[in-house]
């Protein structure tokens, strides 16, 4: 059994088709078929169910697939550990949430990181907390920020901060926007999966206002513009509200919704890139200022 056999097997599992796996690996289809048959003969079990619609792993195939994936990941980690330079460098892809990306501490950390580590090619990918969580697990991201509670069993937490949540309204709103009348106003929210949107929906549900109008936006700038214009109100972490924004007013929220935790995480693996470690250190230092 060779590593290429494992790569072929995993590619077929992912694609659900020998033809697509061959295209993905840039192999001749007949070679892929031959390797799978030899692998099944060597193991003495059938690894795939074959049909006109494609292929699907058998029960034994699923077991083998887990081990094959783990082995390939360990080989990849070993290569990265050996090849990595002694200083932070190379590509680094970090997922961010809108409420973190605009904070002064995050901007300070980015500035410091770029000055200290110019050989790192940093890419920031904006997404919701659930998207960032899944993309770290699937290795689409080297690390990510997410807000709210998730299963951390497969992750390492490099930084976390407990943030206060506030209700944000335009300056024209009444002094007590949490009243029943104000709860009926439109709410400006991020896409589903955002914990602040979830808190908004829970709060309205508790007030018997579950049918309130929700205006979904994808960026913090758009959200704040809507609030400033009096189109609606929103829940945000206090650090995400610009300190010099005179067109909005912030209000306390009930204790149940008052705090959320934001974390910077990476996968729980033996290998952790020097670039990610340096980035996390800059985040921690900026937050401590």
At 233, which CATH number? 3.40.190.10
Instruction: Tokens for 289, please give them.
Output: 């200022």
Q: Are residues 239 and 271 in the same domain?
A: no
Backbone angles phi, psi at 172, to 5 degrees: -80, -10
Select from 53, 83, 113 the last residue of a domain.
83
Q: What is the pTM of this model?
A: 0.73
- The number of domains in the chain is 3
Domain residues for 47? 3-83
Q: Are residues 190 and 232 in the same domain?
A: yes
> Tens of pLDDT along 11-58?
888 888 888 888 888 888 888 888 888 888 888 989 888 887 778 888
Q: Are residues 168 and 157 in the same domain?
A: no
Question: Which residues does residue 272 pair with via DSSP β-bridges, in sequence order?
Answer: none
> Tens of pLDDT along 209-256?
777 789 999 899 999 999 999 999 999 999 999 988 899 999 999 999
Q: Are residues 154 and 167 in the same domain?
A: no
Q: Backbone dihedral region of 193: left (phi > 0), alpha (psi from -120 to 50 degrees) or beta?
A: left
Q: Are residues 110 and 176 in the same domain?
A: no
DSSP 167-236: EEEETTS-S-TTSHHHHTS-EEEPSTT-HHHHHHHHHHHHTT-TT--EEE-SSHHHHHHHHHTTS-BEEE
User: What is the C-alpha to C-alpha distance for residues 266 and 279, in angstroms, rounded to an integer?
Assistant: 12
Q: Are residues 197 and 248 in the same domain?
A: yes
Q: Are residues 104 and 158 in the same domain?
A: yes
């Amino acid at each position: 059994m060779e590593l290429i056999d494992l790569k072929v097997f995993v590619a077929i599992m992912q694609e659900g088709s020998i033809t697509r796996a061959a295209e993905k690996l840039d192999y001749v289809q007949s070679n892929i078929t031959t390797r799978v048959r030899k692998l099944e003969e060597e193991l003495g079990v059938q690894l795939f169910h074959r049909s006109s619609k494609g292929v699907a792993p058998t029960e034994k195939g699923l077991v083998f697939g887990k081990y094959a994936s783990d082995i390939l990941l360990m080989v990849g980690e070993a290569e990265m550990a050996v090849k990595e330079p002694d200083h932070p460098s190379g590509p680094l892809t970090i997922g961010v949430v809108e409420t973190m990306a605009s904070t002064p501490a995050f901007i300070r950390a980015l500035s410091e990181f770029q000055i200290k580590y110019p050989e790192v090619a940093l890419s920031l990918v904006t997404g919701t907390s659930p998207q960032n969580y899944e993309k770290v697990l699937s290795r689409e991201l080297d690390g990510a920020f997410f807000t709210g509670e998730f299963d951390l069993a497969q992750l390492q937490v490099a930084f976390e901060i407990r943030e206060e949540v506030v209700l944000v309204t335009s300056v024209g709103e009444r002094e007590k926007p949490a009243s029943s009348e104000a709860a009926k106003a439109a709410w400006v929210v991020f896409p589903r999966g955002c914990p602040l949107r979830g808190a908004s929906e829970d709060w309205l549900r508790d007030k018997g206002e579950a049918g309130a109008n929700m205006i979904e936006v994808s960026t913090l700038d758009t959200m704040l513009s809507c609030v400033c214009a009096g189109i609606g109100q929103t829940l945000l972490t206090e650090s995400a509200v610009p300190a010099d924004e005179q067109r909005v007013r912030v209000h306390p929220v009930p204790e149940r919704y008052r705090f959320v935790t934001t974390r910077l995480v990476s996968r729980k693996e033996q290998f952790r890139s020097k670039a990610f470690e340096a980035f996390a250190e800059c985040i921690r230092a900026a937050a401590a200022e």
